[in-house]
Structure 1
Amino acid sequence: MPTTLPTSTHAAATPQAVPERDCLLEFRNIRILYDNAIEAIRDVSIAVPDGGIVALLGSNGAGKSTLLKAMSGILYTEEGVIENGSIRFRGEDVHHLGPDELVRRGIVQVPEGRRVFAALTIDENLQMGGYTRTNAEARERRDRVFALFPRLHERRDQIAGYMSGGEQQMLAIGRALMTDPALLALDEPSLGLAPLIIDRIYEVIVRLRDELKMTVLLVEQNAQRALDIADYGYILETGRVVLDGPSKKLVANEDVQEFYLGISASGRKSLRDVKHYKRRKRWLS
């Protein structure tokens, strides 16, 4: 069973929110700057328990992807730096490590936009994902990916660049799974996909937790879909955590319903109403 997290929905989780022995990943009072001037993340603390799904929610520019880049060691590609705080994985500070070492330790990210190797086949993409493994390990992991995504097996010899967006997302996740990660971070996995494909991908995410005991950090703008499967959620706005709690409690929160789910006491709100509500809402300040 996933670790039970704290029930407060009034402030960001403190580093002590999850016992360290149960916590796989922690952001501790992280502050991130771009170009030594632009503050993207301000004093954020997030705890990700071993074997659970944690959702990071928020609008565009809230800082969700920045946290994933910091966790994956690729902030430097955009002139970003961790100005303060730390990132701990399995009880050790890892924010100073390079991307290759973080992958070896079990932290793997599927970035937004899929980014498969377009000129390679599905099979060759998966081979690239498992290049650090022995041939036997790579075959075993490839078979596991094909079991999760039968469509990839059916089209294993197809050039990835000619696949649909949904198939490319499946391949991007499958390639990440070839490393056998302890923690899989997914950045906007439903972006631009048809509802039936989103259903399939979310089914796989649940199976990763329930059957493979994998920890998943899920970044999404689609709050409803993410909270449907997550154990715990954090809501970010303007670079800081404004609300957190178990998913069921967040879904029942009136502010979350109106601000992120577009639902009010009078029924579902239009996009125009939601935008107006966001402009006038003051609980984020």
Structure 2
Amino acid sequence: MSALLEITNAKIIYDSAVEAVRDVSLSVDEGRVVALLGSNGAGKSTLLKAITGGLEFEEGVLEKGSVRYGGQDLAGRPTEWIVRNGLALVPEGRRLFINLTVEENLVMGAHLKSAPEMRRMKEEVFDLFPRLYERRSQISGYLSGGEQQMVAVGRALMSQPRLLALDEPSLGLAPLVIDAIYDTIGRMRDELKMTILLVEQNAVQAMGLADYVYIMENGRIVLDGPAQTMRNNADVQEYYLGMAGGEAGRKSFRDVKHYKRRKRWLS
């Protein structure tokens, strides 16, 4: 498999002073789901901004390393070029045009496409999300959180992406809705052969779907591997899946931090 997205030794700083990402390398192979996991502040969103052209809006700079998509360097590329070349982002918080209908939001995602392409993509989106077809004439601001997330994903799909980046798709949603969203992400990979970068805090859901997993802390990749291997890793089970000794049993964040500190002192 060839890597569609490659980040190599990336160092990203804000305001010429704050180092948000340190020496990060990761790759996303075509046709696979790759999960990037980590808590708030780990640097996940900063990496997404480097991929989708959003760093410059927040005084961010890729000071070292490279970000390549489809073999081309993304440094300095405007967002429109990135979208036109098949990389789409579903941002955290959905960011819909809340005064527009569901269908109007979808059309906004296809503004670079021809009318026949737009019609075909709408059919694909409505096939993936039948509920959106039922709600197509409703104002998006009045939809439930889960329905708004479906619109956000559908809008990104309207651009016919080669690579779809999803930023916290499960955030703030009920468990049943999360299951439905993840089922659809799996269909996008299996039926549409789509390449997906899944940025999440919900480790259980993400590892259940992903082919490969990276875990990020404090601006660095601290662990990576095939999803099955990661699920069986004792450290991952304890710190990210809420398991101790391979048996279910949630640990509090305080307990985890205490254990890490003690382990570091004794080493």
TM range (shorter): over 0.9
Which residue identity is paired with 2:255? H
Whether the aligned pair in 2 keeps the contact of 1:24 and 1:50 (CA below 8 Å) is yes
Whether the aligned pair in 2 keeps the contact of 1:182 and 1:214 (CA below 8 Å) is yes
The aligned residue for residue 23 of structure 2 is 43
Whether the aligned pair in 2 keeps the contact of 1:237 and 1:284 (CA below 8 Å) is no
Q: Could you tell me which of 55, 69, 78 is aligned with 2:58?
A: 78
Whether the aligned pair in 2 keeps the contact of 1:72 and 1:99 (CA below 8 Å) is yes
Task: Report the Cα offset of residue 284 of structure 1.
Answer: 9.1
**What's the secondary structure of 1:211's corresponding residue?**
helix
Task: Report the Cα offset of residue 265 of structure 1.
Answer: 1.9
Matches within 5 A, 1:7-26: 22-26=2-6
What is the root-mean-square deviation in Å for CA atoms of aligned residues?
Answer: 1.5
Greater than 6 Å deviation, 4+ residue runs: none
Q: Could you tell me which of 15, 27, 30 is aligned with 2:7?
A: 27
Deviates more, 1:88-97 or 1:169-178: 88-97
Task: Report the Cα offset of residue 266 of structure 1.
Answer: 7.3
Q: Could you tell me which of 214, 226, 244 is aligned with 1:246?
A: 226
Q: Confirm or deny that 1:108 pairs with 2:104.
A: no
* Whole-Å separation in 1 of the counterparts to 2:96 and 2:104: 11
Q: Confirm or deny that 1:276 pairs with 2:264.
A: no
Whether the aligned pair in 2 keeps the contact of 1:259 and 1:278 (CA below 8 Å) is no
Task: Report the Cα offset of residue 271 of structure 1.
Answer: 4.6
- Listed as ranges, the gaps of 5+ residues in structure 2 are none
Which residue identity is paired with 2:259? R
* Whole-Å separation in 2 of the counterparts to 1:269 and 1:113: 30
The aligned residue for residue 216 of structure 1 is 196
Task: Report the Cα offset of residue 96 of structure 1.
Answer: 1.9
Matches within 5 A, 1:95-134: 95-134=75-114
1:195-242 Cα deviation digits (max 9, x unpaired): 111111101111111111110000010111000010000000000000
Whether the aligned pair in 2 keeps the contact of 1:55 and 1:233 (CA below 8 Å) is yes
Which residue identity is paired with 2:214? Y
Q: Could you tell me which of 209, 212, 215 is aligned with 1:235?
A: 215
Which residue identity is paired with 1:277? V
Instruction: Give the structure-2-normalised TM-score.
Output: 0.96
Q: Confirm or deny that 1:201 pairs with 2:181.
A: yes
Q: Confirm or deny that 1:184 pairs with 2:159.
A: no
Q: Confirm or deny that 1:172 pairs with 2:152.
A: yes
User: How many residue pairs align between the two structures?
Assistant: 264
- Listed as ranges, the gaps of 5+ residues in structure 1 are 4-21
